[in-house]
Amino acid sequence: MRYDLCLPWYWEYDDVFAGMVERACIEEGISLWQIKPDNLLESVTALYKGVTTFKTLLDRGQGETVFAPIPRWAKEFGAQRINPAEISAWSEDKSTMHLELIRAGLHTPYTILLAPFLEQPVLSQIDLTPLGERFVIKPSNGGGGEGVIVGAARMEEILQARMEFPEQKYLIQAYITPQIIEETPAWFRVFYANGQTYPCWWDTDTHIYTNVTAEEEARHGLNKLRDVTKRIASICKLDWFSTEIALADEFVVVDYVNDEIDTRVQSQAMDGVPDEIMNCIARQLVSIAKRNI
């Protein structure tokens, strides 16, 4: 049997997203194969014996090595892969994306790139003046804010931070202070899926999302959030991701590409993605599989 779309997943909070994908598949008239921990062994066995296969992969099994045979099969046998692992790995490198975005003419924070501690344990003299009084320290890889220090002010903090992930490059970035629009900091997270964009106000303290309305886009010129996000998509080549953008003197891309999207929805968790946006994303991803039939 050949399924149109394969969805491996194990995280308990992916259940609502998986349900959205399932409903979208039913509406589009395509078949869905969900692979979870309770059917993983039999599914992988059937896949490698050629008993059951698939045409498109939407992989939510990343991070669990026992799921790795599934994307490996997909690559080997030429299945359509949504966010292929090699493209994800390239786009997740913040130092690489920083240079790519600058080359494309997008605004980013003033940044100093540092070699990994293991390659260059002792740094030469660095002029921190252009960063301002406060700055942000980020390891080049990883997401979810891991290893990020906001509001740093001293060279000693940089030296210490580099040892947390000694194999990674580090970005030292100027702290961006956003404009205030109607008493709200102009800080946004925009979701991208298969050509469509979904901008949200994003509270950097509570991590709570609020949809940017069409009226707000028109009144404050926030439609540029969509343009910037689509330009990022043309660079990173991912099918779906989120990006963080702040409006200071201009729109500044603050956190470049996050393709390991937290699919928790707002009806489940206070800091989840608005349900209607996640539902739209699921539909867009299913449409990729639909085209591949």
Domain boundaries, the chain: 2-82+286-291, 84-108+176-258, 110-174
Query: Which pLDDT does position 245 carry in this prediction?
Result: 98
CB neighbour list of residue 272: distance below 8 Å, 6 or more residues apart = 209, 262, 264, 265, 266, 278
Place of tokens 């469509």: 196
Query: Which pLDDT does position 260 carry in this prediction?
Result: 83
Query: Which pLDDT does position 128 carry in this prediction?
Result: 95
For residue 240, name the pLDDT band (cuts at 50, 70, 90). very high
Neighbours of 135 (CB within 10 A): 25
| 3-state per-residue secondary structure call for 222-249 | CCHHHHHHHHHHHHHCCCEEEEEEEECC
CA-nearest of 26, 68, 75 to 54 is 75
The answer on pLDDT for 116 being more than 80 is yes
Query: Which pLDDT does position 22 carry in this prediction?
Result: 98
CB neighbour list of residue 201: distance below 8 Å, 6 or more residues apart = 184, 187, 188, 209, 210, 211, 212
For residue 111, name the pLDDT band (cuts at 50, 70, 90). very high
- The architecture (CATH level 2) of 2-82+286-291 comes to 3-Layer(aba) Sandwich (3.40)
Query: Which pLDDT does position 11 carry in this prediction?
Result: 94
Tell me the two tokens of residue 46. Answer: 């059937």
Residue length, the chain? 293
Q: Tell me if domain 2-82+286-291 and domain 110-174 are identical in fold.
A: no
Provide mean pLDDT across the span 19-48: 98
Q: pLDDT tens, 136-189?
A: 999 999 776 788 999 999 999 999 999 999 999 999 999 999 999 999 999 999
- The superfamily CATH assigns to domain 84-108+176-258 is ATP-grasp fold, B domain (3.30.470.20)
For residue 124, name the pLDDT band (cuts at 50, 70, 90). confident
- The architecture (CATH level 2) of 110-174 comes to 2-Layer Sandwich (3.30)
Q: What is the pTM of this model?
A: 0.95
